[in-house]
Amino acid sequence: MGWFSGKPKILVADDEANIRSLVQETLAGIGYEVHAVPTGAELLRCVEDVAPALIILDVMMPGMDGWTALERLRAGEKTREIPVLMLTALQRGKDVEESFSRGAKDFLAKPFTMAHLLKKVEKLAPRK
């Protein structure tokens, strides 16, 4: 306890286990500390403990969707400034606008290339 890795932390919330694993393994492999959860509710339960430099958030999840989780993050004193990258199969212009209007910093549609994801992650949470 009390040990700090010095790596930027990223919290991934996506109900698709294969997406969580792919993103977690890829980002950990290039120097990030990655935590992954399957729901928006779990994201909100652990976000303050993890204190991420970036949140990657799916929109369509069971229970609480990503937009609701994003609104709650923006309402929290300790979480309102954490950048959020929405990662979703929703690709219509109104979905992108909805994400930004609720406080997302960036948006990436599924399916995505890992190179495109890495470029967005590096912009929002650069490795030191």
Residues 6+ away with beta carbon under 8 Å from 80:
73, 74, 103
Q: Tell me, yes or no, whether 83 lies in a domain.
A: yes
Q: Tell me, yes or no, whether 77 lies in a domain.
A: yes
User: How large is the average pLDDT for residues 14-32?
Assistant: 95
pLDDT value of position 1 = 37
- The total of structural domains in the chain comes to 1
Q: Tell me the residue range of the domain where 20 lies.
A: 9-121
- pTM assigned to the model: 0.92
pLDDT band with cut points at 50, 70 and 90 for residue 96: confident
Q: Tell me, yes or no, whether 2 lies in a domain.
A: no
pLDDT band with cut points at 50, 70 and 90 for residue 30: very high
Instruction: Please report, for the domain that includes residue 86, its CATH number.
Output: 3.40.50.2300
Q: Is the pLDDT of residue 3 over 60?
A: no
Q: Tell me, yes or no, whether 85 lies in a domain.
A: yes
Which strands, in side-by-side order, build the sheet including 33-37? 33-37, 9-13, 54-57, 84-88, 106-109
Q: Tell me, yes or no, whether 114 lies in a domain.
A: yes
C-beta separation of 85 from 78 below 8 A: no
pLDDT digits 0-9 by tens, 47-74: 999 999 999 999 999 999 999 999 999 9
Q: Tell me, yes or no, whether 116 lies in a domain.
A: yes
Across the strands, what pairs with 112?
Answer: none
